Chains A and B, each alone.
Chain A
Amino acid sequence: RKEVEQDPGPFNVPEGATVAFNCTYSNSASQSFFWYRQDCRKEPKLLMSVYSSGNEDGRFTAQLNRASQYISLLIRDSKLSDTATYLCVVTNNDMRFGAGTRLTVKP
Protein backbone atom coordinates (compact mmCIF):
# COMPACT_ATOMS: atom_id res chain seq x y z
CA ARG A 1 0.00 0.00 0.00
CA LYS A 2 1.31 3.44 -0.90
CA GLU A 3 1.98 5.81 1.98
CA VAL A 4 -0.07 8.54 0.37
CA GLU A 5 -2.89 7.69 -2.03
CA GLN A 6 -4.88 9.96 -4.25
CA ASP A 7 -7.49 9.39 -6.92
CA PRO A 8 -5.50 10.07 -10.11
CA GLY A 9 -8.54 11.43 -11.93
CA PRO A 10 -8.73 13.03 -14.34
CA PHE A 11 -11.47 15.33 -13.12
CA ASN A 12 -12.99 17.30 -15.97
CA VAL A 13 -15.31 20.02 -14.72
CA PRO A 14 -16.94 23.12 -16.21
CA GLU A 15 -16.02 26.60 -15.09
CA GLY A 16 -17.84 27.54 -11.92
CA ALA A 17 -18.12 23.98 -10.64
CA THR A 18 -17.16 22.85 -7.18
CA VAL A 19 -14.73 19.96 -7.06
CA ALA A 20 -13.30 17.99 -4.15
CA PHE A 21 -10.20 15.82 -3.90
CA ASN A 22 -9.40 13.35 -1.18
CA CYS A 23 -6.11 11.90 -0.09
CA THR A 24 -5.44 9.11 2.40
CA TYR A 25 -2.23 8.42 4.26
CA SER A 26 -1.01 5.33 6.07
CA ASN A 27 1.33 6.71 8.74
CA SER A 28 -0.71 7.72 11.76
CA ALA A 29 2.31 9.59 13.16
CA SER A 30 2.28 12.06 10.27
CA GLN A 31 2.62 15.60 11.51
CA SER A 32 2.19 18.11 8.71
CA PHE A 33 0.00 18.17 5.66
CA PHE A 34 0.02 20.20 2.50
CA TRP A 35 -1.49 20.55 -0.93
CA TYR A 36 0.89 21.41 -3.76
CA ARG A 37 -0.11 22.38 -7.26
CA GLN A 38 1.81 21.30 -10.35
CA ASP A 39 1.12 22.78 -13.76
CA CYS A 40 1.89 20.72 -16.85
CA ARG A 41 5.66 20.41 -17.34
CA LYS A 42 6.35 22.67 -14.36
CA GLU A 43 7.61 22.25 -10.82
CA PRO A 44 5.29 21.70 -7.84
CA LYS A 45 4.41 24.80 -5.84
CA LEU A 46 2.83 25.07 -2.43
CA LEU A 47 -0.90 25.73 -2.64
CA MET A 48 -1.76 25.61 1.03
CA SER A 49 -1.00 23.97 4.31
CA VAL A 50 -3.68 21.87 5.99
CA TYR A 51 -4.43 22.49 9.63
CA SER A 52 -6.31 20.32 12.08
CA SER A 53 -9.13 22.81 12.38
CA GLY A 54 -9.48 23.14 8.63
CA ASN A 55 -8.52 26.25 6.73
CA GLU A 56 -9.66 28.34 3.85
CA ASP A 57 -7.83 30.48 1.32
CA GLY A 58 -10.19 32.22 -1.03
CA ARG A 59 -11.94 29.57 -3.13
CA PHE A 60 -9.86 26.77 -1.61
CA THR A 61 -10.72 24.88 1.57
CA ALA A 62 -8.56 22.19 3.11
CA GLN A 63 -9.66 19.75 5.76
CA LEU A 64 -7.82 17.17 7.85
CA ASN A 65 -9.37 14.11 9.48
CA ARG A 66 -6.71 12.49 11.65
CA ALA A 67 -8.98 9.71 12.89
CA SER A 68 -9.65 8.50 9.36
CA GLN A 69 -6.25 9.60 8.08
CA TYR A 70 -7.36 11.62 5.14
CA ILE A 71 -7.14 15.16 3.94
CA SER A 72 -9.31 16.92 1.42
CA LEU A 73 -9.20 19.91 -0.87
CA LEU A 74 -12.33 21.71 -2.01
CA ILE A 75 -12.22 24.16 -4.89
CA ARG A 76 -15.27 26.38 -5.33
CA ASP A 77 -16.18 28.38 -8.44
CA SER A 78 -13.54 26.66 -10.57
CA LYS A 79 -11.54 28.81 -12.97
CA LEU A 80 -9.78 27.79 -16.16
CA SER A 81 -6.54 28.67 -14.39
CA ASP A 82 -7.19 25.95 -11.79
CA THR A 83 -6.31 23.34 -14.42
CA ALA A 84 -3.35 21.50 -12.91
CA THR A 85 -2.35 18.40 -10.98
CA TYR A 86 -2.88 18.63 -7.23
CA LEU A 87 -0.40 16.80 -5.03
CA CYS A 88 -1.16 15.69 -1.50
CA VAL A 89 1.88 15.86 0.78
CA VAL A 90 2.21 14.26 4.20
CA THR A 91 5.23 14.67 6.42
CA ASN A 92 6.77 12.91 9.39
CA ASN A 93 10.40 14.03 9.39
CA ASP A 94 10.35 13.68 5.62
CA MET A 95 7.90 14.54 2.89
CA ARG A 96 5.75 11.91 1.18
CA PHE A 97 4.00 12.88 -2.01
CA GLY A 98 0.90 11.42 -3.51
CA ALA A 99 0.95 10.71 -7.24
CA GLY A 100 -1.41 13.62 -7.84
CA THR A 101 -4.95 14.25 -9.01
CA ARG A 102 -5.34 15.83 -12.41
CA LEU A 103 -7.96 18.55 -12.80
CA THR A 104 -9.08 20.11 -16.07
CA VAL A 105 -11.50 23.03 -15.94
CA LYS A 106 -13.29 23.60 -19.23
CA PRO A 107 -15.14 26.67 -20.55
Chain B
Amino acid sequence: EAQVTQNPRYLITVTGKKLTVTCSQNMNHEYMSWYRQDPGLGLRQIYYSMNVEATDKGDVPEGYKVSRKEKRNFPLILESPSPNQTSLYFCASSHSSGGATEQFFGPGTRLTVL
Protein backbone atom coordinates (compact mmCIF):
# COMPACT_ATOMS: atom_id res chain seq x y z
CA GLU B 1 0.00 0.00 0.00
CA ALA B 2 1.34 3.41 -1.02
CA GLN B 3 1.67 5.51 2.08
CA VAL B 4 3.52 8.01 4.22
CA THR B 5 4.20 6.90 7.77
CA GLN B 6 5.15 8.97 10.78
CA ASN B 7 6.29 8.00 14.24
CA PRO B 8 5.43 8.60 16.94
CA ARG B 9 1.79 9.54 16.46
CA TYR B 10 1.57 11.18 19.88
CA LEU B 11 4.32 12.56 22.05
CA ILE B 12 4.39 14.51 25.29
CA THR B 13 7.79 15.80 26.27
CA VAL B 14 9.45 18.50 28.32
CA THR B 15 11.26 21.66 27.33
CA GLY B 16 14.79 21.07 26.12
CA LYS B 17 14.64 17.32 25.61
CA LYS B 18 15.76 16.53 22.07
CA LEU B 19 13.34 14.53 19.97
CA THR B 20 13.04 13.16 16.45
CA VAL B 21 9.88 12.50 14.48
CA THR B 22 10.44 10.01 11.70
CA CYS B 23 8.80 10.12 8.28
CA SER B 24 8.99 7.49 5.59
CA GLN B 25 7.32 7.10 2.17
CA ASN B 26 7.22 4.06 -0.10
CA MET B 27 6.20 5.80 -3.33
CA ASN B 28 9.70 6.73 -4.54
CA HIS B 29 8.75 10.40 -4.31
CA GLU B 30 11.46 12.98 -4.75
CA TYR B 31 9.80 15.80 -2.85
CA MET B 32 9.15 15.64 0.88
CA SER B 33 8.14 18.29 3.36
CA TRP B 34 7.14 18.95 6.94
CA TYR B 35 4.22 21.10 8.04
CA ARG B 36 2.82 22.17 11.34
CA GLN B 37 -0.88 22.84 11.77
CA ASP B 38 -2.18 25.23 14.40
CA PRO B 39 -5.75 26.44 14.96
CA GLY B 40 -6.64 29.39 12.77
CA LEU B 41 -3.30 29.34 10.99
CA GLY B 42 -3.62 26.39 8.68
CA LEU B 43 -0.70 24.31 7.52
CA ARG B 44 2.66 26.08 7.51
CA GLN B 45 5.70 24.57 5.90
CA ILE B 46 8.72 24.00 8.15
CA TYR B 47 11.27 22.43 5.80
CA TYR B 48 11.21 20.72 2.46
CA SER B 49 13.50 18.51 0.43
CA MET B 50 13.59 18.26 -3.34
CA ASN B 51 15.78 15.17 -3.32
CA VAL B 52 18.44 13.32 -1.36
CA GLU B 53 20.86 15.68 0.37
CA ALA B 54 18.83 18.69 -0.76
CA THR B 55 16.87 20.42 1.99
CA ASP B 56 15.64 23.97 2.37
CA LYS B 57 13.76 26.15 4.82
CA GLY B 58 10.05 26.70 4.58
CA ASP B 59 8.09 29.45 6.28
CA VAL B 60 8.69 28.50 9.92
CA PRO B 61 12.05 26.68 10.21
CA GLU B 62 13.26 28.14 13.51
CA GLY B 63 13.85 25.49 16.13
CA TYR B 64 13.78 22.59 13.67
CA LYS B 65 16.29 20.56 11.69
CA VAL B 66 15.85 17.95 9.00
CA SER B 67 17.98 15.56 7.02
CA ARG B 68 17.50 13.60 3.81
CA LYS B 69 20.13 10.89 3.61
CA GLU B 70 17.85 8.44 1.85
CA LYS B 71 15.06 9.10 -0.61
CA ARG B 72 12.38 7.45 1.49
CA ASN B 73 13.15 9.05 4.89
CA PHE B 74 12.85 12.63 6.06
CA PRO B 75 13.13 12.95 9.86
CA LEU B 76 12.24 16.13 11.73
CA ILE B 77 14.52 16.98 14.64
CA LEU B 78 13.77 19.32 17.52
CA GLU B 79 17.09 19.87 19.28
CA SER B 80 15.63 21.80 22.21
CA PRO B 81 11.83 21.76 22.09
CA SER B 82 9.89 24.66 23.57
CA PRO B 83 6.20 24.99 24.45
CA ASN B 84 5.52 27.09 21.33
CA GLN B 85 6.37 23.99 19.27
CA THR B 86 3.32 22.23 20.65
CA SER B 87 1.41 21.49 17.48
CA LEU B 88 0.16 18.88 15.02
CA TYR B 89 2.89 17.92 12.57
CA PHE B 90 2.42 16.42 9.13
CA CYS B 91 4.97 14.96 6.80
CA ALA B 92 4.08 14.94 3.11
CA SER B 93 5.56 13.69 -0.13
CA SER B 94 4.91 14.20 -3.81
CA HIS B 95 6.30 13.04 -7.11
CA SER B 96 7.80 16.43 -7.88
CA SER B 97 8.17 19.86 -6.35
CA GLY B 98 6.49 23.07 -7.44
CA GLY B 99 3.13 22.25 -5.97
CA ALA B 100 1.60 21.08 -9.21
CA THR B 101 1.25 17.49 -8.12
CA GLU B 102 -0.77 15.94 -5.34
CA GLN B 103 0.86 15.81 -1.93
CA PHE B 104 0.34 12.70 0.17
CA PHE B 105 0.29 13.29 3.88
CA GLY B 106 1.27 11.11 6.77
CA PRO B 107 -1.23 10.53 9.59
CA GLY B 108 0.20 13.32 11.74
CA THR B 109 2.15 13.57 14.99
CA ARG B 110 0.56 15.42 17.86
CA LEU B 111 3.35 16.93 19.95
CA THR B 112 2.96 18.54 23.35
CA VAL B 113 5.92 20.29 24.93
CA LEU B 114 5.50 21.06 28.62
Contact = CB atoms under 8 A, between A and B. Distances in A.
Interface residues of A, number: 22
Interface residues of B, number: 20
B55 interface: no
Instruction: Give the most central of A31, A92, A93, A94: most B CB within 10 Å.
Output: A94
B42 A43 contact: no
A31 B44 CA distance: 19
B105 A43 contact: yes
Interface string B83-114: 00000001000000111101101111000000
A14 B25 CA distance: 39
A97 B107 contact: no
Interface of A: 4, 8, 31-32, 34, 41-46, 87, 89, 91-95, 97-100
